[in-house]
Amino acid sequence: MNHLQKNPARPIWEDPDTGKIYIIDQRQLPHQMVVSELADVDDVIFAICEMMVRGAPLIGVTGAYGVYLAFAANTSDPDEAAQQARRIRRARPTAVNLAWAVDQTLEKALAADKQDRAKAARQHAAAIAGLEAENSRLIGEHGLPLIAEIAEKKPGQPVNILTHCNAGWLACIAHGTATAPIYQAHRQGINVHVWVDETRPLNQGARLTAWELGAAGVAHTVITDNAGGHLMQKGLVDLVIVGTDRTTYTGDVANKIGTYLKALAARDNGIAFYVALPSSTFDWQIRDGVGQIPIETRDSDEVRYMPGVEKNKTHLLLPEDSQAANYAFDVTPARLVTGFITEKGVCPAEETAIKTLFQKHSR
Ligand X SMILES: CSC[C@@H](O)[C@@H](O)C(=O)COP(=O)(O)O
Cβ proximity of 140 and 183 under 8 Å? yes
Residues 266-295 that bind ligand X (CB under 6 A): none
CB of 145 to ligand X, least distance (A): 20
- Does 130 appear as a known binding residue? no
Q: Which helix (H) or strand (E) holds 347?
A: strand 345-347
Phi-psi region of 312 (alpha: psi -120 to 50; beta: other; left: phi over 0): left
Nearest CA-CA partner of 86 in 37, 53, 117, 41: 41
- Does 56 appear as a known binding residue? yes
Q: Which amino acid is at 91?
A: A
Question: Cis ω on the peptide bond leading into residue 348 (within 30° of 0)?
Answer: no
CB of 55 to ligand X, least distance (A): 4
- Does 54 appear as a known binding residue? yes
Stretch that binds ligand X, among 3-11, 37-45, 106-114, 166-174 (CB under 6 A): 166-174
Instruction: Work out whether 167 is an interface residue with ligand X (CB under 6 A).
Output: yes
Nearest CA-CA partner of 289 in 324, 263, 251: 251
CA-CA distances (angstroms) from residue 300 to 49, 199, 221, 297, 314? Answer: 14, 15, 28, 8, 14
Residues 89-148 that bind ligand X (CB under 6 A): 95
CB of 322 to ligand X, least distance (A): 23
CB of 3 to ligand X, least distance (A): 23
Q: Which is nearer to ligand X, 124 or 256 (CB)?
A: 256
- Does 363 appear as a known binding residue? no
Q: Which is nearer to ligand X, 84 or 255 (CB)?
A: 255
- Bridge partners, 24 (sequence order): 35
Tell which one of 11, 21, 57, 265 touches ligand X (CB under 6 A).
57
Tell which one of 11, 55, 60, 63 touches ligand X (CB under 6 A).
55
Catalytic residue chosen out of the listed positions 197, 225, 238, 245: 245
Instruction: Work out whether 328 is an interface residue with ligand X (CB under 6 A).
Output: yes
Instruction: Work out whether 206 is an interface residue with ligand X (CB under 6 A).
Output: no
Tell which one of 144, 165, 206, 263 touches ligand X (CB under 6 A).
165
CA-CA distances (angstroms) from residue 112 to 67, 108, 117, 170, 212? Answer: 14, 7, 5, 32, 39
Q: Which helix (H) or strand (E) holds 83?
A: helix 78-89
Adjacency order of strands within the sheet including 192-197: 219-223, 192-197, 159-163, 239-242, 272-276, 339-342, 345-347
Tell which one of 54, 186, 220, 246 touches ligand X (CB under 6 A).
54
Question: Site map for ligand X, 226-245, x if CB under 6 A?
Answer: -----------------xxx
- Does 55 appear as a known binding residue? yes
CB of 269 to ligand X, least distance (A): 22
Instruction: Work out whether 180 is an interface residue with ligand X (CB under 6 A).
Output: no
Cβ proximity of 344 and 356 under 8 Å? no
Q: Which is nearer to ligand X, 102 or 171 (CB)?
A: 171
Binding site for ligand X (CB under 6 A): 54-57, 95, 165, 167, 171-172, 177, 204, 243-245, 255-256, 328
